């Protein structure tokens, strides 16, 4: 696991976009795993800028999102379909049918989850999976206690997660209590993972994820077993790291051929 600390979330987001852009430039038909929430917005904005101003093309890229609410129409502004369309998809040259999200309105949810797994495999697997982390260490919507080998499935959200995601709904009672999420086993099959975390409310989760024991109590800690996991942090999210100076030294001393900036 490589931990990179930047001065603020904007600079971290810009570096994240450079990392994704490198994947797309090296493999035009890259398969990207995407995340929602406020954390990746600066990264998405930079990818859109790169597309519009630098000609970064996504015409052969395929995407798979981590999760979606159960029972929420894709047109609802709080749905992850709508969020992704607003902030990323409509601004890029993605082909029709190239973007995939779990179907939260499926009549057969278990069957739909199995189909999602098959679609990822049929696409050749995910080249880079973008991730965030919850204040309690959840990864995607794999809440604490989730199986470390889990696959795409339905999950019940904790009260903490419901509160954290209530803003688009205006009322906590209106937040769907169930989601479909990629499992931790699914995420671990991505060839590389890129996790972003910003703010003091993520500091303890980052400490436990990177420096604590691997445990279902902190689902994000499974990334300690990933062969290529990059973690981009701002100073606040990195504030609880016991080996922060070492991570800074490692990044400052990277050989040029390993650098993105």
In this structure, what token pair is assigned to residue 55? 């000609």
29 catalytic residue (yes or no): no
Q: Which of 46, 67, 103, 234 is catalytic?
A: 67
Q: Which of 64, 179, 155 is nearest to 117 (CA)?
A: 64
Q: Which of 154, 225, 215 is nearest to 183 (CA)?
A: 154
138 catalytic residue (yes or no): yes
249 catalytic residue (yes or no): no
Q: Where are the alpha helices (DSSP H) in 55-126?
A: 80-87, 109-122
Q: Which of 68, 103, 143, 208 is catalytic?
A: 143
Give the residues across from 2 on adjacent strands.
Answer: 230
What long-range pairs does 172-177 form, CB within 8 A, spacing at least 24?
Answer: 175/78, 176/69, 176/70, 176/71, 176/72, 176/104
Q: Which of 46, 68, 127, 138 is catalytic?
A: 138
91 catalytic residue (yes or no): no
> 187 φ, ψ to 5°?
-60, -40
Q: Which of 68, 136, 208, 234 is catalytic?
A: 136
In this structure, what token pair is assigned to residue 145? 């206690």
User: Going by C-beta distance under 8 Å and a sequence separation of 6 or more, which residues neighbour residue 235?
Assistant: 5, 6, 7, 8
Residues tagged active-site: 67, 136, 138, 143
């Amino acid at each position: 696991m490589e931990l990179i600390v930047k001065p603020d979330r904007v600079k971290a987001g810009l570096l994240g976009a450079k990392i994704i852009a490198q994947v797309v430039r090296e493999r035009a038909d890259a398969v990207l795993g995407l995340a929602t929430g406020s954390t990746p917005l600066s990264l998405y904005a930079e990818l859109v800028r790169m597309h519009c101003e630098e000609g970064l093309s996504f015409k052969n890229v395929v995407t798979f999102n981590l999760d979606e609410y159960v029972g929420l129409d894709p047109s609802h502004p709080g749905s992850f379909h709508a969020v992704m369309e607003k902030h990323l998809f409509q601004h890029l040259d993605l082909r029709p049918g190239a973007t995939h999200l779990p179907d939260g309105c499926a009549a057969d949810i278990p069957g739909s989850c199995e189909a999602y797994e098959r679609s990822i495999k049929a696409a050749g697997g995910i080249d880079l999976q973008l991730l965030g982390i919850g204040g309690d260490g959840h990864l995607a919507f794999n809440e604490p206690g989730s199986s470390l080998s889990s696959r795409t499935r339905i999950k019940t959200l904790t009260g903490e997660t419901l509160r954290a995601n209530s803003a688009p709904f205006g009322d906590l009672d209106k937040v769907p209590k169930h989601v479909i999420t990629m499992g931790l086993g699914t995420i671990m099959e991505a060839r590389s993972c890129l996790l972003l975390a910003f703010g003091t409310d993520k500091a303890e989760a980052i400490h436990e994820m990177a420096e604590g024991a691997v445990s279902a109590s902190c689902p994000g800690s499974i990334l300690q077993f990933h062969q290529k996991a990059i973690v981009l942090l701002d100073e606040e999210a990195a504030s609880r790291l016991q080996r922060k100076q070492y991570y800074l030294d490692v990044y400052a001393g990277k050989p040029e051929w390993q650098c993105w900036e």
